Amino acid sequence: MDKVSLILIFFFLLNQSLNATEIYGVPKIIDGDTVHINSKKIRLKGIDAPEMKQQCKKTFLKIHLLINLEFKKNYSCGVSSKTKLVKKIKNSKINCISTTRDRYKRYLATCYKNKINLNKWMVRNGYAVAYKRYSEDYVRDENYAKENKLGMWKGSFTRPEKWRKLN
């Protein structure tokens, strides 16, 4: 890499860190990818959690005879996603770092409880998916959850972005 490229990268990173907004406090959890701290609305950057009214399917009975039978039932995966984030945070203070806002004026942020990246934790445990349209940050974590059948990956679901378009 030449010197000009290195200088440009340095100034880009410096500008990003200077424009960062840090939001700290006990959040009100809205859903699996949205929290409010005081009057600030924060969207967890790079992830997409199921909507509160969204239904997913999970296996509740498997029978292995001459053929394999699997019975599935609906569950509220949006509610489940929110519940998992609420339990993870446990009324603690979190720290969210944002460098931009979305079209709804929400802060797009990576949020941490102590040193735990909550965005990553939600995807890696199958309570949200990587929002690949906007970021590749959590694709490996999504693959991990999928391979290990964690959270929503235990059953079947419509990706939240597609579900919103259909509903």
Task: Tell me how far apart the alpha carbons of residues 42 and 96 are, in angstroms, rounded to a whole number.
Answer: 8
- pLDDT at residue 65, as a whole number: 73
What pTM was computed for the model? 0.85
Mean predicted lDDT score pLDDT of the chain: 90
Name the least confident of 1-10, 63-72, 73-82, 146-155.
1-10
**All domains in the chain, ordered by first residue:** 22-166 (2.40.50.90)
Whether pLDDT at 15 is above 60: no
| pLDDT at res. 2 | 63
In tens, the pLDDT along 63-90 reads: 777 777 778 899 999 999 999 999 999 9
Residue pair 34/106 in contact by the 8 Å Cβ criterion: yes
Rounded mean pLDDT of 5-18? 48
* pLDDT of 14 strictly over 70: no
Is-contact 89 25, C-beta < 8 A? no
pLDDT in tens, 16-25: 445 799 999 9
- Are 27 and 90 a contacting pair, CB within 8 Å? no
Residue 12 has pLDDT above 80, yes or no: no
96 strand-pairing partners: 23, 111
The residue length of the chain stands at: 167
Please tell me whether residue 122 adopts helix, strand or coil conformation.
helix
Stretch 45-59: mean pLDDT, rounded? 96
- Point out which residues pair with 35 in neighbouring strands: 29, 42
Name the percent of the chain lying above pLDDT 90.
80
> Taking the CB of residue 59, how many other CB atoms lie within 10 A of it?
13
- Quick check: 13 pLDDT over 70? no
Question: 1 pLDDT band (50/70/90 cuts)?
Answer: low
